[in-house]
Structures are given as C-alpha cells and as structure tokens.
Amino acid sequence: MSSLTDITVAEGYTLSTSPISKLAPELLAEVFHWCILNVAAARLMNTAPPLAPYSWLTIRHVCHTWRDVALAFPELSTHIWLTRPECVIDMLGRSGTLPLHIHSVERFYMNPTEEAEMLHMVLSQFERVADASFVLAEEILRSYKPDPQLKKHTVRASQLRSLKLYIWRANPSWRPPWLLFAGFDFPALRELTCVHTNIAMLHTLVAPRLCHLRLFHSELQLEQELLPLLNQLGVLEELELDEAMRSFAGPQQALGAILSAPNSPTSVTLPRLKRLSIKHVSADAVFYLLHRLSFPLSASVVLQASWRPRRPSSYDSYVAVILAKIEGLCFHTLSLSTTAESGVTFRLWGDRLAVDHGHLSQLYSGEAAHFSCSLRIPPRLLITYLIEELPLGQIECTLLSEQAVGLNDAVAWETVLSLMPSVEDLVMQYETFDYLANDAQPYRIRPANTYSLCPSLETLRIRELHHWSSLMLDFSSDVVHLGCVARGLAERKDGVGKMDITREVEDFHEEYPCPHEGGRGCRQPPGYESSLSAPVQRRNHFKARILDGAFRVPNLFKRR
C-alpha cells in the first residue's frame, strides 16, 4: 500500500469514467483505508450524526471484488474499536503483525464482562499497539483478571507512542486492587493522558522519553508524588494539570514562609518544556508548583486558580513567583479583564497583535499567549500587588475588559493605562447599568480626565454592553469604571483627527442577574459564557442539558 508521503508527478491528464471495481487492488485498498480513517476521525471529533465504529465493514459485503480486497490487505484491520469481542478477534487475526490503533467508545450500556474480555485480548498483543485510548469503568477493572504470566516477565511495548487512559469511578476513593499495566515497559511512549489515575498506576506508565503529559482529576500529593514523578521526565515538552493535585501544605502554613525559608527545596528542572498549564487547584498550590519548576523562558504558561487564596498575605508571594518566571522577557500585547466570577485574568504576548477583526478573537480568547493567569482575587488589589510590577513599558496593543464588577472591586484603570505609555492600539469592553447614571438619562457616564494617558494612542475600539435594569444593585456610584475612561479617551480634544475611533453599542433591556446565578431564560451579554471560569461553564452547561432532558456525558477523548 502506498504511503501518504509518496509523490507522483504528472505532466498531463485525461478524464474518463470506469467502474470502481476495475481499479487496481492496491488503489482500491488505499481508498478503503481513507474511508476507515474518516470513520475514526468522525468518532474522535464527535461529528453529527455519529458514525458506528465499524460502519466501514459494509465494504466487505458490496461485491466479491471489494470483499477480496478488504480481506487481503492487513492494513485495513489495524484500527480496532472495543465494541464487540467478535470484531476484536477478527481484526487482531487479520492485521498480521502490523502496528495496531486501539480506540474505546463511550462505555454506557456495554457488558462489563465483554469489555474485560476485549481488554484482555488487546493487552495480550500490546507489544504491537502504536496508540491506544481506554475508557474503563470500575466494574470492568473488577471483572478483569490480570495475566499471571506478566508477573514472570516484562512485556516490552516498544511501538506504543500515545496512550489515553480514563478510569470511570463511581466511588472517588476506590482504587483498583492491581495495576493495569504492571509488567509492561514503554520505551517509546511520547504522549500520556490520564484521568482519575493514582500515583501507583502512573509509575507503571511514565517513560523517561515522555514528551507530553496530561493529568486530570488525579489529586496527587504535590510534594510527595507529583514533583518526584516530574523529576524523572527530563525531555518533557508539555505538562497539563487540571484538578490533578491536592494542597501542598497544611492549612496553617503560608506560601510566603515556604518561599523565604533558608533551606528551600531544590527545583525540578524541565529543560525542554514548551507549554505549562495548571488549572483548577488552589492558588497556593499553583504558585508553589510554579516556583518549584525550572524551565526555559520561551515556554508558554497558563495558570488558573479555582478559589480565592486563604490569606491576603500570599499576594506578594504570587507576584514574586510570576516576576521570577518572566524576568528578562519583553511583551508588546496585554489583555486584562475583570469579572465578578473569576476575578482577574491577564495575558501577555511577546508579539504585537493587531486590533483588526482577525486578531480580536485572539485577544479575547488568549490564544497563543506567552503568559496567562486567572486569579480569584478582588480586582481592586490588582494594582497594589501585580500591575505595577509587570513589565508593561513596551506594551503597544491592549485589551481592557470590565464585566459585572461592583462594590469596591473596580480597578483604577487610569493607573493601568499610565503604566503603558507606548500603547498605540487599545480595545475596551465594559458594561453599563442604568443606576450608574448621573441623571435621568440611562447610559450617561461622566468621562474621566484622560489628558495625560496614552500619548501614543492611534486606534481606539470601544464596545459597550448596556443593561436597562439589573439585579446587581450594590455598585458603588463614585467608582471610575472602565466606561468613564473609555468615554474620556474618545472625547479627548487632543485626539480629534488623530485617533481612529470605533464604537460598538449593544443594548439589553432584560434583567441581567448576577453571574453567580446564571438563571435560565435571561439574556446574557455577548461573550458572557466564555468569560466565566471553566468550572462554572461546565456547571451551567450540564445544568441546561439536564433541564432540557438531553444530558449525555461528553467524549473525554475528543481531539482538539
């Protein structure tokens, strides 16, 4: 069978028609192979309508010619879906000695005994597997009996490069009485994704040449389990942790005390790291792990703390860790947003992004940001502890966004802009409410004095989201919100004829409840859902699906 990398050069061509059965067997097999890959891609990407994993088997029953080709080429039997034991037996037998690609499907309504049987079949030939994804439930692991021969010798799975393992546990505290991959060696493993796995199982999977490690819902102990594990991965290029660790210290121990201790623990060095993502754990755990890791300045970093710090005294420590990781870097683009739900999010890019429509989505989403951090910290503390310390003097493009911020949580936006004298492109998005008005006219905001701000400003993009009424009645009327600064910049006399100003206004005349509630039937402003933290997005999504009667657990192995 020809390779996809083969290149054929033709000087000319002619058109003709011919029955597909008259194609050469090798070419017909190539067509069938693409059909199989298309089915696999459709399943992995959750396309609608979903395709049955073995829908391509109808090829065998069209005609004798097709059947002969489908059975003669072992490459057509190398993609194995764990659906029915008879299909797994057939594919294993017809694939010869070629590398295998193992795929799990959503395991609901399947027979645990049959699943355990298929798992045993695959593991018996695991030295042939090139990539695999397993979705295993607790009852399957109870039914599966490990091969006693594995205790006598080691199986060298030298072809395995990618493994995704999801353990579906009804009881979060349950642990399998045996290790699924005990007795296996994975010298070529490059990519590992694990969900609900413990440290004992991870030790059987981690290979010294691992490049991509993603751990979800694993609750590892940071000091005793996670850091020693990472210390073995000297060639790691990507590390993604999502609810993957517990708190690193006792409730009475402050992060600052640990950072300033004379006998500070040595760092775990990851010299080839290109991307680090730590999400949905405590702020202390996020920054302690960031402090303990040593990696190149070129690596991109994504941080997201899922709840507020225990003590305000930790803020200084957070800032110190951030500054240490970006020291020496030069940034030209900043995105800074505040919300009542997720607190403060700031992102930094080394390149200057344009404010045309092609790059605005990147500013809002944070795509390809070099450093991204979300903290559930009162926004008013942002200036005191963070912004004044960041290297913003060379920022040329900025997105400032203020959403649903009230009480005393408003940011001193004049101070933020005063720290960026080189900004030329400025995008501002904010919400206005009728009770912030100074008179009977809703939406009327007194422009702030911005004469000394942004002396190099060339492009100003303003997006106002107006609300006629709101249940959030505790705003402070004397706060200079982002809208005041935006109006001041737009109406500045020295900017007339010098700035390219675009203003976009969207009105919402329905009640807009507090984002902490997110009630159904209420119209939310554009971008509201994307601005919430990931746990809130998931909670709102699942709640809506349940209420609509259409709840279905998503495919956790969807390709991104």
For residue 179, being part of any structural domain is answered with: no
Read off the pLDDT of each residue in 308-314 and give the average, rounded to a whole number. 66
- pLDDT for 128 beyond 90: yes
Nearest to 95 by CA among 162, 169, 43, 159: 159
Structural domain count of the chain: 2
Q: What is the pLDDT of residue 332?
A: 96
CA atoms within 13 Å, Cβ hemisphere of 205: 26
- Report the distance separating Cα 484 and Cα 487, nearest Å: 5
Q: What is the pLDDT of residue 107?
A: 58
Nearest to 334 by CA among 406, 287, 250, 393: 393
- pLDDT for 155 beyond 80: yes
pLDDT bin (cut points 50, 70, 90) of residue 6 is: very low
The amino acid occupying position 90 is D
* pLDDT above 70: percentage of residues in the chain: 67
**Are the beta carbons of 97 and 130 closer than 8 angstroms?**
no
Read off the pLDDT of each residue in 56-60 and give the average, rounded to a whole number. 82
Q: Does the pTM of the predicted model rise above 0.85? A: no
Burial class (CB in 10 A: 0-12, 13-18, 19+), 296: exposed
For residue 514, being part of any structural domain is answered with: yes
Stretch among 165-174, 372-381, 422-431, 442-451 having the lowest mean pLDDT = 442-451
Q: What is the pLDDT of residue 114?
A: 84
Three-state secondary-structure class, residue 293: strand
- Report the distance separating Cα 323 and Cα 253, nearest Å: 22
- Report the distance separating Cα 332 and Cα 93, nearest Å: 58
Stretch among 331-335, 357-361, 371-375 having the lowest mean pLDDT = 357-361
Token pair for 273:
């790291």
- Report the distance separating Cα 299 and Cα 278, nearest Å: 13
Nearest to 83 by CA among 49, 36, 121: 121
Q: What is the pLDDT of residue 557?
A: 34
372 C-beta neighbours (distance < 10 Å), count: 20
**Are the beta carbons of 259 and 296 closer than 8 angstroms?**
no
Helices (H), 272-349: 283-292, 314-326
Q: N- to C-terminal Cα distance for the chain?
A: 29
pLDDT bin (cut points 50, 70, 90) of residue 348 is: very high
What are the residues facing 466 on neighbouring strands? 432, 507
The conformational region for residue 84 under phi > 0 = left, psi -120 to 50 = alpha, else beta, is beta
Nearest to 167 by CA among 121, 190, 135, 206: 135
For residue 54, being part of any structural domain is answered with: yes
Q: What is the pLDDT of residue 533?
A: 47
Which helix H or strand E contains 359, and what residues bound it? Answer: helix 357-365
Q: What is the pLDDT of residue 171?
A: 64
- Report the distance separating Cα 400 and Cα 410, nearest Å: 13
247/182: higher pLDDT: 182
Angle between helices 112-124 and 85-94 (to 10 degrees): 10
- pLDDT for 101 beyond 60: yes
For residue 188, being part of any structural domain is answered with: no
The amino acid occupying position 479 is V
- Report the distance separating Cα 371 and Cα 276, nearest Å: 10
Q: What is the pLDDT of residue 263?
A: 67
For residue 411, being part of any structural domain is answered with: yes
Strand intervals (E) in 30-159: 79-81, 100-103, 129-137, 155-156
Read off the pLDDT of each residue in 334-352 and give the average, rounded to a whole number. 86
**In sequence order, which residues have a C-beta less than 8 Å from that of residue 117 and are 6 or more positions away?**
85
**Are the beta carbons of 228 and 217 closer than 8 angstroms?**
no
- pLDDT for 405 beyond 70: no
For residue 117, being part of any structural domain is answered with: no
- Give the structural domain span for 338: 329-529
Most confident segment among 30-39, 42-51, 521-530: 30-39
Give 197-249 pLDDT, tens digit per residue. 888 888 888 888 999 999 999 889 988 899 999 999 999 999 999 999 876 55
pLDDT bin (cut points 50, 70, 90) of residue 513 is: very low
Angle between helices 283-292 and 314-326 (to 10 degrees): 40
Token pair for 42:
């459709």
Stretch among 203-217, 446-460, 488-502 having the lowest mean pLDDT = 488-502
For residue 374, being part of any structural domain is answered with: yes
- Point out the domain boundary residue: 28, 43, 77: 77
Stretch among 146-150, 151-155, 449-453, 538-542 having the lowest mean pLDDT = 538-542
* Residue-wise DSSP of 184-253: EE-TT--EEEEES--HHHHHHH--TT--EEEEES--B-IIIIIHHHHTT-TT--EEEEES-B--SS-TT-
Helices (H), 73-124: 85-94, 112-124
- pLDDT for 518 beyond 70: no
- Report the distance separating Cα 163 and Cα 126, nearest Å: 12
Q: What is the pLDDT of residue 480?
A: 59
- pLDDT for 423 beyond 90: yes
Nearest to 430 by CA among 387, 475, 396: 475
Alpha-carbon Rg for the chain in angstroms:
28
- Report the distance separating Cα 324 and Cα 292, nearest Å: 12
40/48: higher pLDDT: 40
| Average pLDDT across the chain, whole number | 77
Strands 79-81 and 397-403: unpaired
**Are the beta carbons of 417 and 451 closer than 8 angstroms?**
no
The amino acid occupying position 529 is E
Stretch among 81-95, 212-226, 529-543 having the lowest mean pLDDT = 529-543
Q: What is the pLDDT of residue 34?
A: 86
Most confident segment among 391-400, 481-490, 507-516: 391-400
Read off the pLDDT of each residue in 73-98 and give the average, rounded to a whole number. 91
For residue 273, being part of any structural domain is answered with: no
Cis peptide before 208 (omega within 30 of 0): no
- pLDDT for 497 beyond 70: no
